[in-house]
Amino acid sequence: MQLESMYREIILDHYRNPHHKGLRDGYRAEVHHVNPTCGDEVTLRVHLSDASLGEAAVIEDVSYESQGCSISQASASVLTDLVIGKKVGEALGIQEKFLELMQSKGESAGDEDVLEDAVAFAGVSKFPARVKCALLSWMALKDATAQALAAEGVKNHG
């Protein structure tokens, strides 16, 4: 129980004081994702150092604008802390771990070494309707990263 209230505090803290929020210029891809079951929306931009490096490119910035419930907004804030400055391949590995945690139906506690504050969402995985809230910005990140790399491919071969 104590752990759950600590996790609730982490989520509320990110919701009240979101990290890296706001859309910034100098980006390679922008996506807009919606979670219609809750009404959450996120516009997310990804900037890569050198997209021609593929998964070895560094995520220089992730900026976003979002509206919706506390879970969706806190999740976007936690995401930026985890992936800015990481290589694309590494960030996608973290995304995969978070996806596994959210699909665990409350069975997994999450790997804190990899997920840091994102383990606070472990309890959310027990509530299928809220899982989509927590995953919204992570799906947007995956989409934006793929688009940023694809755009580079077109440039190189076109």
Contacts with Zn ion by CB under 5 A: the residue count is 6
By rule CB under 5 A, what string of x and - marks binding of each residue 123-152 to Zn ion?
----------x-------------------
By rule CB under 5 A, what string of x and - marks binding of each residue 31-50 to Zn ion?
-------x-x----------
Specify the 3-state DSSP secondary structure of 94. Answer: helix
Q: How far apart are CA 19 and CA 16, in angstroms?
A: 10
Q: Do residues 141 and 91 touch, judged by C-beta distance below 8 A?
A: yes
Among 63, 66, 72, 137, binds Zn ion (CB under 5 A): 72
Regarding beta strands 40-48 and 59-67, do their DSSP bridges make them parallel or antiparallel, or are they unpaired? antiparallel
Residues of this chain that bind Zn ion (CB under 5 A): 38, 40, 68-69, 72, 133
